Amino acid sequence: MNIALIAHDKKKPDMINFTVAYTEILKQHDLFATGTTGKKIQEATNMEVHRFKSGPLGGDQQIGAMIANNEMDLVIFFRDPLTAQPHEPDITALIRLCDVYQVPLTTNLGGAEILIRALEQGLFSWRELIKKNDEQGNEE
């Protein structure tokens, strides 16, 4: 599965701790991240992470494009709800795309714990059906 990992500056330590704790599960999947978050994950875990630009420079939109093309299966986004973000419209658009394309999304550590355990148990196989249906719909 393709998994996006995004974290605002004040939440990056939480993301690093999360990815270190769940390296064994995450390394079985294709990981994507915004710039600095991806670099910090790579340094902490030695996992391969496809890095996009930083969020404010278009990284959120690059991940959004993958969602719109049905190429992203799960988004773990540790948001900082207490700090204003200059690219808030991009964040809102990313969340909206997850809803439109039925991509599981969490914005906090508690939700991430639940999603990672569901991933471990193989409970996202329905995403393959959605992708298959999408491909068939695009062929017509």
* C-alpha distances in Å from residue 63, one per residue of 19, 72, 83, 122: 19, 8, 22, 23
- What sign does the dihedral 11-14-20-21 (CA atoms) show? negative
- Nearest-CA neighbor of 45 among 29, 64, 62, 63? 29
Active site residues: 60
Burial of 136 (0-12, 13-18, 19+ CB in 10 A): exposed
Distance in angstroms (rounded) separating the CA atoms of residues 24 and 65 = 28
